[in-house]
Structure 1
Amino acid sequence: MRYVIVGTGNISNTYVSALGKLAGCELVGAVSRSGRALAAAPDLPIWPSLAAVDRAFDAVILATPNGLHHQGAIAAAELGKHVLTEKPLDIAADAMATMTAACKKAGVTLAVCYQRRTRPDNIAIKRLIDEGTLGQIYAADLSAKFYRDQAYYDSGDYRGGYSLDGGGPFMQQACHNLDIYTWLFGLPQQVVSMLGTFAHDIESEDHGAALLRHANGMIGTVVASTAAKPGFAARLEVHTEKGSFTLTDDVITQWHVDNLDNPAQPGKAYHHDGATSAAVTDTTAHEAIIKDFEQAVEDNREPLAGADSAKLTTELILKIYNSQKPI
């Protein structure tokens, strides 16, 4: 497929690299309202809007700030182009509904780059849970303790704010981890949270915790932070009637489940805590998401991280933001 990237900030470089490694994929150019070139492909043309693109293309990749994803998706749908957006789907319920409806009306595919869903161990755990092999799940404890310095937030006016970023580490850095949580367990019925801003001069939280109760009785906990120096690997610890296991950065690192072999898959571990940089250098999971996106278009099926599934992650984050309890 032929792509136009909308947005030329840091994350666009990841997509340039991923597309360059996939046979048959062509990057036509990019859209930038400021006219900024793609750092990883400076010779490609830049247009001020999707409507101004004067070359043939099939799909867009949205690499704009979180709160602008719906605008790009709607503009692409109006042109009959498929949409792969950087996470999250968007930051507000009405925006997600509008962009999803626009893509469905236009008959184009809408997917989100929640690339951790492509990790083999996450897929293995998802299958076991869906099959009921692990029995009743008692608890799931997610720790996403990352670090960003003040310079990171100062690098963009929107960073750490609500209007475009949509919030702090829950909406931004821990969004991928929360997506795996909702992919595996769905939305909780009850949420209680406490959030604070400790180490940065920003509008939103930089550290917080939430307690979640699901319809099946499962109790979940989530901690998300960009104030946990120097930044730590993300951990998801799950306790079931058959035993317990731990995923560390999407790899099964502990397995204590009765009469069931560890389903961990061989392969390179993935680790990106962003302690010193927000850049993504390992593009293998992005490549996998793009492959799935193209196959979904070809087969006219729901992508691995389609809009109806991906919206649950934003819905969980909004529940966390809206359920804060005073200290």
Structure 2
Amino acid sequence: MRYVVVGTGNISNTYINALTERPGSELVGAVSRSGRPLSAAPELPVWPSIDAVDADFDAVILATPNGLHHQGAIDAAARGKHVLTEKPLDISIEAMDRMTDACNRAGVVLAVCYQRRTRPDNQAIKALMAQSAFGRIYAVDLAAKFYRDQAYYDSGDYRGGLALDGGGPFMQQACHNLDIYTWLFGLPGQVVSMLGTFAHDIEAEDHGAALMRHEDGMIGTVVASTAARPGFAARMEVHAERGSFTLTDDVVTQWVVDGVDNPSAPGDHYQHDGATSAAVTDTTAHQAIIEDFEAAVRDGREPLAGATSARLTTELILSIYQNAV
């Protein structure tokens, strides 16, 4: 497939590098409101809007700030182009509804780059849950305690704001981890949370905690932070009828489950944990999500992280924000 990337900031380089590793996938240019060229591919043309693109292309990759994802999807759908957006789907229910409706009407695929769903151990846990291998799940405790310095937030006017970022670490840095939570366990019925801004001069929170109860009684907890210096590996601990296990940065690191062998994939050394930096040097997971996206287009099926399931993550985050005390 041939792509146009919308947005020429740092995250666009991740997609350029991922596409470079995929035979048959090609980046033909970029869209930038400022006209800034792609730093990783300055030779490629840059257009001011999706409507202005005059090259042949099949899909867009939206690498714009969170709150602009819906507009890029709507503009791409108007041209009959498929859409792969950087996480999250968007930052409001209305925006997610608008972009989903536009893509459905145009008959184009809409997917989100929640690439952690492609990791082997996450996939194995998902399959075991479909088999009810753990029995009743009692509790899930998620800790996404990351660190960003003030310079990170100062690097973009929108960072740490509500209008475009949509919030602090819950909506931005920890949404990948929360996506695995909703992908595995769904949405809770009750949420109560506490949020604070401690270490940064930003509009949104930089640390918070939420307590959740699901309809089956499961109790979930989540802590999300960019104030936890120096930054720690993300951990998800699951306690169930048949035992417990821990995922650390998407790899099973503890496993005590009666009658079920540890499914951890040997030699999985994916290198992006997000604890201290937003930089992505290992693009294998992005390559996997692009491969799945192209297969969904080819086969006429729902992508691994399609809009229907990916929106649950934003819905959970909004619930955490709305139920803060």
Using the size of structure 2 for normalisation, the TM-score is 0.99
SS at match of 2:135: coil
SS at match of 1:252: strand
Q: How does 1:210-249 map to 2 (within 5 A)?
A: 210-249=210-249
SS at match of 2:138: strand
Q: 1:221 to 1:271 in 2, by over 3 A?
A: farther
Q: Distance in 2 between matches of 1:269 and 1:177?
A: 18
Counterpart of 1:185 in structure 2 is 185
Q: Distance in 2 between matches of 1:57 and 1:215?
A: 44
SS at match of 2:147: coil
Q: Distance in 2 between matches of 1:78 and 1:267?
A: 43
Shift of 1:276: 4.5
* Counterpart residue type for residue 173 of structure 1: Q
In the alignment, is the contact (CA less than 8 A) between 1:249 and 1:271 conserved in 2? no
Counterpart of 2:2 in structure 1 is 2
Q: Distance in 1 between matches of 2:205 and 2:268?
A: 33
Q: Distance in 1 between matches of 2:285 and 2:209?
A: 28
Q: Distance in 1 between matches of 2:6 and 2:212?
A: 36
How many residues matched?
325
Structure 1 vs Structure 2: percent identity of aligned residues?
78
Residues 1:134 and 2:130 are matched in the alignment: no
Counterpart of 1:42 in structure 2 is 42
* Counterpart residue type for residue 115 of structure 1: Q
In the alignment, is the contact (CA less than 8 A) between 2:234 and 2:275 conserved in 1? no
Q: Spell out, residue by residue over 1:294-322, the C-alpha distance to the aligned partner (whole angstroms, 9 max, x if none).
A: 00000000000000000000000000000
SS at match of 1:247: strand
Residues 1:320 and 2:320 are matched in the alignment: yes
Q: Distance in 1 between matches of 2:319 and 2:150?
A: 27
Counterpart of 2:25 in structure 1 is 25
Q: Distance in 2 between matches of 1:63 and 1:266?
A: 32
In the alignment, structure 2 segments of 5+ residues that lack a partner are: none
RMSD: 0.8
SS at match of 1:84: strand
* Counterpart residue type for residue 36 of structure 2: R
In the alignment, structure 1 segments of 5+ residues that lack a partner are: none
Q: Distance in 2 between matches of 1:176 and 1:299?
A: 26
Q: How does 1:82-101 map to 2 (within 5 A)?
A: 82-101=82-101
Shift of 1:252: 0.2
Counterpart of 1:162 in structure 2 is 162
SS at match of 1:171: coil
Shift of 1:90: 0.1
In the alignment, is the contact (CA less than 8 A) between 1:58 and 1:81 conserved in 2? yes
In the alignment, is the contact (CA less than 8 A) between 1:160 and 1:202 conserved in 2? yes
Q: Distance in 1 between matches of 2:279 and 2:176?
A: 15
SS at match of 2:140: strand
Q: Distance in 1 between matches of 2:68 and 2:38?
A: 19
* Counterpart residue type for residue 55 of structure 2: R
Residues 1:201 and 2:167 are matched in the alignment: no
* Counterpart residue type for residue 220 of structure 1: G
* Counterpart residue type for residue 203 of structure 2: E
Range with bigger deviation, 277-286 or 287-296:
277-286
In the alignment, is the contact (CA less than 8 A) between 2:271 and 2:281 conserved in 1? no
Residues 1:175 and 2:175 are matched in the alignment: yes
Counterpart of 1:281 in structure 2 is 281
* Counterpart residue type for residue 67 of structure 2: G
Using the size of structure 1 for normalisation, the TM-score is 0.98
Q: Spell out, residue by residue over 1:26-61, the C-alpha distance to the aligned partner (whole angstroms, 9 max, x if none).
A: 100000010001111011000000111110000000
Q: 1:106 to 1:81 in 2, by over 3 A?
A: same
In the alignment, is the contact (CA less than 8 A) between 1:213 and 1:220 conserved in 2? yes
Moved over 4 A (4+): none
Q: Distance in 1 between matches of 2:274 and 2:243?
A: 32
Q: Distance in 1 between matches of 2:274 and 2:296?
A: 31
Shift of 1:260: 1.0
Q: How does 1:57-136 map to 2 (within 5 A)?
A: 57-136=57-136
SS at match of 1:295: helix
Shift of 1:277: 3.0
